[in-house]
Amino acid sequence: MENKNIENEIKLENLTTETILTNLKILSNIKPTDKLTQNGDLLMIDPTDFTQCVKRWWNNNSRIHTMDAIERIIDQTFITIDKIYNSEIQNTVDINVDNNYYYKRVVPENYFKTDNSQQLQILSSELVNAVKGLQNLKLTYVEDISICSKIDIIIDKITIRTSKINKLLTIQTYPKNIPK
């Protein structure tokens, strides 16, 4: 049973942007009393039924493993955001961030790729949506102060990061500098 968790930990190390977005969408769909499980690199909402506790025990799914997976997914999300931002700032293209629209505009096959600012907006939006699910997960584990505290810390990290992204992507105009 312990091997399943080790395999899942390894798989969560290098998530693609698509997998990160999928996991964030799954997090956003958590309802109060829902629990999470993991299948490979994807989170899954564990259906509530009379066999849930037995299945969770058999598969060695616990709230601690769930929190570890959520923390790794959020960390991978932040790493991806940093790569996207750095590729834009440094005018370079990373292996996993091959969508720097501003510098590759002349290449027709890249025309329909999502540019960096759009990717940052999408990730920021999905992080905000995931907070709602995390708040619902807190209701599931309301009696467990350590889990609720971990969830609060994750929510705080997400709030800070999305605030920074929103400030970064805000277009500021100064009326005094606009030519007439």
Q: Is the pTM of this model over 0.85?
A: no
Q: pLDDT tens, 80-107?
A: 999 988 887 775 544 455 555 554 544 4
Return d(Cα 46, Cα 15) in angstroms, integer: 21
Q: Where are the alpha helices (DSSP H) in 141-173?
A: 145-169
Q: In the predicted model, what is the mean pLDDT of residues 31-41?
A: 86
Q: What is the band of 9 on the pLDDT scale with cuts at 50, 70, 90?
A: very low
Among 55-59, 76-80, 150-154, name the one with the lowest average pLDDT.
55-59
Return d(Cα 63, Cα 138) in angstroms, integer: 11
